[in-house]
Amino acid sequence: MISKKEVQHIAKLARLSLKLSEEKKFQKELSSILDYIEKLKKVNISKTEPTTHPLKIENIMRQDKGQKRKNKKLLDLAPETQKGHIKVKSILK
């Protein structure tokens, strides 16, 4: 069983606000899923390599040049813009 404090910590790491009632609910649900996942400990993996992708992925290179794309369309999707830039809250006081 994970603790309420752990739930709060994970929510903070994931940048998710939680209501008090939700903390309890997620605590219960996440614990039961994690209990189920414990099963994996029964597999002998001492000599096994991890698989990140089903295929062997190869790097693909291109010229490091800027591309003019659909800037206006993309900017139009942002909640706040100013002079062709996305506006963000100040982070320095």
Partner 1 sequence: MNLEELTITKAHQGLKKKQFSALELCKAYLDKIEEGKEVHAFLTVNESLALSQAKKIDDLIAVGSEMPVLAGLPCAVKDNILVENVRCTAGSKILGNYIAPYSATVVEKLKSQGAVILGKTNMDEFAMGSSTENSGFGATRNPHDLTRVPGGSSGGSAAAVATGECLYALGSDTGGSVRQPASFCGVVGLKPTYGAVSRYGLIAFASSLDQIGPITKTVEDAKIVFEAISGKDELDSTSVSPKIGIQKLKNVRIGVPKEYFVKGMDKEIEKMIRAAIKKYTDKGAKVIEVSLPHTEYALPAYYIINPSEASANLARYDGIKYGFSKKEKSLIDVYLQSRGQGFGAEVRRRIMLGTYALSSGYYEAYYLRAQKVRTKIKEDFDKAFSKVDVIVTPTSPTTAFKIGEKTSDPLTMYLSDIYTVSINLAGLPAISLPCGRIGKLPVGMQIIGKAFQENIIFKVAQLYED
Interface contacts to partner 1, rule CB under 8 A: 2, 6-7, 10-11, 13-18, 26, 29-30, 32-34, 36-43, 45, 48-55, 57-60, 70, 73-74, 76-80, 86, 88-91
For residue 33, the minimal CB distance to partner 1 (Å) is 6
Q: How far apart are CA 72 and CA 7, in angstroms?
A: 40
Q: Are 4 and 24 in contact (CB under 8 A)?
A: yes
C-beta of 79 vs 84, nearer to partner 1: 79
- Residue 7 CB neighbour total at 10 angstroms: 21
